[in-house]
Amino acid sequence: MPSIRPLSLALLALSLTQVTVQADQLDDIKARDVLVVGTNADAPPFGFQNPDKTISGYDVDFAALVAKKIGVKLTVQNLDPADRIGMLKSGKVDLIVATMTKTAERERQVDFSLGYFVTGQKVLAKKGRFPDVNALQGATIGVARGTTSETQFRQLFPKTVLISMNDTHQAVQFMQEGKIEGVTGDEPALAGLLNKLPNRGQYEFSTFSLSTEAYGIAVKKGEKRMLKIVNDALTEAEANGEATRIFNRWFGPNSTTPLVRIFKIQNY
């Protein structure tokens, strides 16, 4: 058998390397014809489970925009907020669209799209309990584990008892049972849960905000083509009015969580 020359081996290795470099996540998604997106089904109206076990919401609508842009079908998985980055890095989901705030710490682990929602962190509690920010000192507050609301609150109020829970829904339940005095989180997600309470008239949001945050779609680190197609889908939706239509569907004046759209999808 003739021997393979070193030069031939080198050329073969270079060829294989080029194939590996050219194949990326976007190619894999197109090949399987399915985009797998992780979201949070316990954060209405961003994500909630329907009676037939499917998941709907603001985040799911934006995930659908990306799937349409790529030209593939969409599959949505419910994730624990604390597991979001791990699931993305391990490749178990292709994207995270789950009320995920863009932060410098997270951007060291994932790449973020443009902000597709801008909100503020507030506190939900019995009426009159927290008239100002100073009243939070020494209180007992619940928060969803693994969120920026948890990190932010700990930094601002180190002497306040902050109880981390599986999700915001559980925290609201604890507040109703009198086990904690309030719940902190992003206002729209809290508003969606408050609307479902039979005694919602007893509760109110703080008049003060603890932060202003932009939600981004999380992409696996280094997947530049994937990030570009996500951003293209978002900017096109802003330009053609679809982003505003999605907002009004879930937060418009006739929705259960009426808010004013004070942002546009841009460099948030």
For residue 23, what pLDDT is reported?
52
Q: What pLDDT score was predicted for residue 21?
A: 43
Do 52 and 185 lie in one domain? The reply is: no
Verify that 205 and 229 share a domain, yes or no: no
In a domain, residue 77? The reply is yes
Summarize the confidence of residues 127-143 as an average pLDDT: 95
Query: Is 31 inside any structural domain?
Result: yes
Based on the number of CB atoms within 10 Å of its own CB, is 8 exposed (0-12), middle (13-18) or buried (19 or more)?
exposed
pLDDT (0 to 100) of residue 139: 96
The mean pLDDT value for 227-250 works out to: 97
Report yes or no on 226 lying in a domain. yes
Which percentage of the chain shows pLDDT scores above 90? 77
Does 206 have pLDDT greater than 80?
yes
Task: Indicate whether 113 and 11 sit together in one domain.
Answer: yes
Residues 167 and 39 in one domain: no
The whole-number average pLDDT for the span 180-194 is: 92
Say if residue 104 is in the same domain as residue 137.
no
**% of the chain beyond a pLDDT of 70:** 91
pLDDT at 5: 53
**Domain-embedded: residue 154:** yes
Contact 46, 97 (CB under 8 A): no
pLDDT tens string 77-99: 999 988 999 999 999 999 999 99
153 and 227 co-located in one domain: no
51 domain residue, yes or no: yes
Q: How far apart are CA 37 and CA 168, in angstroms?
A: 20
Query: Is the residue at 261 inside a domain?
Result: no
The three-class DSSP label of residue 18 is helix
The answer to whether the beta carbons of residues 251 and 258 sit under 8 Å apart is: yes
Amino acid identity for residue 217 in this structure = I
Residue 18 has pLDDT above 50, yes or no: no
Q: Above 50 in pLDDT, residue 160? A: yes
Burial letters 227-262, b for 16+ CB under 10 A, else e: bebbbebbbebbeeebbeebbeebbbeebebebeee
Q: Could you tell me the CATH number of the domain that includes residue 141?
A: 3.40.190.10
Same domain, 227 and 114: yes
Question: Which residue segment(s) compose the domain that 62 sits in?
Answer: 6-118+215-251
Kindly report the average pLDDT of the chain as a whole number. Answer: 90
Q: Do 24 and 84 belong to one domain? A: yes
Does 39 map to a domain? Answer: yes
- Average pLDDT of the segment spanning 192-203: 91
Q: Where are the beta strands (DSSP E) in 132-263?
A: 140-144, 161-165, 182-186, 203-205, 211-220
The verdict on 107 and 149 lying in the same domain is no
208 and 224 inside one domain: no
pTM, two decimal places: 0.75
If one counts the domains in the chain, the total is 2
Confidence band for 268, pLDDT divided at 50, 70 and 90 = low
- The pLDDT, as a whole number, for residue 136 is 95
| pLDDT reported for residue 9 | 47
On whether residue 80 sits in a domain, the answer given is: yes
Query: Do strands 47-49 and 55-56 pair parallel, antiparallel, or not at all (unpaired)?
Result: antiparallel
Question: Does one domain contain both 125 and 112?
Answer: no
